[in-house]
Every structure is written in C-alpha cells, then in structure tokens.
Amino acid sequence: MRILLVGAGGVGSAVVPIAARRDFFDHIVVADYDPSRAEAVVSGQAPGRFTAIGLDASDQDAVEAALREHRCDVLFNAVDPRFDMPLFRAALAAGADYLDMAMSLSRPHPARPYEETGVKLGDEQFELASRWEAEGRLALVGMGVEPGLADVFARYAADHLFESIDEIGIRDGANLVVEGPDGEEAFAPTFSIWTTIEECLNPPVVWENGGWHTTEPFSEPEVFDFPEGIGPVECVNVEHEEVLLVPRWVKAGRVTFKYGLGAEFIDVLRTLHKLGLDSTEPVSIKGVEVSPRDVVAASLPDPATLGERMRGKTCAGTWIKGTGKDGAPREVYLYHVVDNAWSMREYGAQAVVWQTAVHPVVALELLARGTWEGRGVLGPEAFDPVPFLELLTEYGSPWGMREQ
C-alpha cells in the first residue's frame, strides 16, 4: 500500500510515528501546503518509507497529479473538512481509495435551522456513492476517533451485546489542562479551532423516531461520569458525524453526540459568534482579504505543540441503552482513554491528536491486509468491528467497557 497523507498538522504529525512502527504499507507521501512542515514530520524516520512534498489541498488537479506521480493507492485526508470535496473528487478521478476523519460540511436549513436539517454532514460525499461503487473504489469516511472508533463501538454493541437498542449516545470528555507561561491554566484548544468552531456553533443533529432533526447549539446539558479518574463532566449537544453515520447501518431509536466543552469554552465560542469571528467569509483589512475564523486560528497555539504543557486524560466513547442478548435491560459505555503523559512519552504527540490519529492507521492496516473490504462510500459501521478492536489493542492502546 502506498499512501498520500494530505496534512502535516497535529493529526498528520501524529500519524507518521504511529505508522512507522508498522509494516503494512510500502510508502507514505506526507503532503502539506507548507512543505517545511511536511519535511519536519518525516525527518528522523527510516529512509525510504516516507517522502515530504508541498501540495495545495484545495487544488484538485494538483492532488490528482500527486496521486499518480507517487503511485498512491490511498488518499488519507488529514486536513480540515473544508478541503474534503476537492480531495474526495481527486481520489476518485485518480483511481485511488480514500479515507477521512471528518465528512463534507453541512449547511443549516435556511428557514428553520434549529428544527430541520439542511445539507447534512456527508451529504455531498454520499451523493457520489454510486460513482465510487461503479469505479470499484472505497471511500471510508469518518474514520478518526469521533467519528470513527465511536462508530465501531456502536456496531460492536449491535452485533455482540444487544438484541435491540433504544439509544446510542457518543460522549466525549476530558480532564486535560494546558499550562500557560505563568503556570496558570491557559485557554488553548487541544484540537483544530477551525473544526471546533464549525461543529460547535452549527445546529446539532439528533436521530429520533426514524429521522433527523436539529436543536439549538449546546442544548440538553447532562453530567456524564467518565472512567479512569476523569470523573463527571457536563456534556452538551454538538453537530457530529456519528449521528449521520450510525443510523445508516445500526438500528437504534435515538442517536446523539454530546461533548464536554466546559463553561469557559462555551462562553468563548458564543462570544466569537456574537462578534462574527466564527465567519469563514473573507473581510477586507487594509486591503487584505482574510477570513475571521482563520485569524482566530492563527492567533491560538498550534494544538500539536501543546503536549509538553498538557496534563490529564481524554476519553472518547459510546453509551448504549437497550435490551441485552439475554432479554434483560442493559446499559453500557464502550470507551477509549489516552493519558497525555503516555502519548507524549511513547510518541511525542499530545493525547487528543494521538487519539485521533491512531484509528485511521488501524483501519488502513485492516484494508491493506484485506481484513476489511468494501466499495462505495462507507462509514466505519459497515465493517466487522472485532478485528479493529483487536488490532487497536495490539497497537498498545486498549479499549474498555463499563456496565452502567
């Protein structure tokens, strides 16, 4: 397998040291708009297994040319989702398979944004499913941690733990702290602020009674008790791909995604929205066209650089409630916890980006082995979850299950 990894930011920089310990691929080409970032990511790796190039992810023709020039079998999309469609189309045109961790962007309903869906996450990609099938190629979408591992958990629960499922709720929480220069806790998002703004300020989607509807941002707060010492965290509704993916393959009465953002983070996001700083539309500043959201992102620390200043754990998981295989009521939480001290010590990557990066690498290994096979546009739920969970444990990062 030859892979074009587009994006040498936080997740891309974590993918390389994870993949470097495995033998399932022949070569990975690391591409970034800034070629020096790509070169920094591959420096120190075994010669011959990695190459660094400059590449504009928005330039479909250039991406197609790179796939062909480097004879890549798979395009691994590790940039933010505004670039999904040019990369998605480039892979299809070049005859390559495709994998991403966040699906094509949504657009709210023009008249009833907090009640009805407009263009949903992934709609643009699923519209091209028949073309991918006709070409005999696979687009594995939403294969990160959330979405990704959380979807694998949903399929595992449906296959092995439950006779019927009333509700599936993805619940994400952490007790991570980032220290500032003065030793006090600093405001520093641990994941792409561009993506965080997008998913947190859009209308959250809920699957219920056989269809999707939307709610207000940060709605339905609940306190969820996270495992391995993280403890209770207030979680709120956030727009996320699992709610759009899980019901396509797993039967459940209700599906939600709730994120433990914290009161300070929610206040910051609301302020950004009130000031228009969440906008992606360029504004003119002294004759220069810039996007307010890009300015916000450029003003904050790169999440990939925060590891030395972080402490604590992050948890991604899926809560399922329904009737167990024995006919009795059952409620479980399947989860994956990463300690920042461990991920920094083992891989030099902070916990959130490492947790996001490991799951697509596991999926690529299963595809390379032929353990996972498919054609068309598919989510993680479309595949057997057991080989994935077994291989994740082999990677040294086991998952857990707690009866609720």
**173-197 tens-digit pLDDT:** 999 998 877 777 777 777 678 788 8
Q: Which residues contact 369 (CB under 8 A, 6 or more apart)?
A: 24
Asked if CATH classification 3.30.360.10 holds for the domain at 149-351, the reply, yes or no, is: yes
| Cβ(173)–Cβ(225) below 8 Å | no
In the predicted model, what is the mean pLDDT of the chain?
94
pTM confidence score = 0.93
Length of the chain measured in residues: 404
Domain 2-100 is found in CATH 3.40.50.720? yes
Of 47-51, 78-82, 260-264, the range with the lowest mean pLDDT is 260-264
Query: Residue 219: what pLDDT?
Result: 95
Say which range, 150-159, 187-196, 231-240, 350-359, has the weakest mean pLDDT. Answer: 187-196
The CATH 3.40.50.720 domain(s) of the chain lie at 2-100
- CA 308-233-228 angle, 5° bins: 65
Query: Where in the chain are all domains bearing CATH 3.30.360.10?
Result: 149-351
DSSP-derived pairing of the beta strands 288-290 and 283-285 = antiparallel
Banded pLDDT at 296 (limits 50, 70, 90): confident
Which range, of 75-89, 173-187, 206-220, 238-252, averages the lowest pLDDT?
Answer: 173-187
> DSSP 3-state assignment of 133?
helix
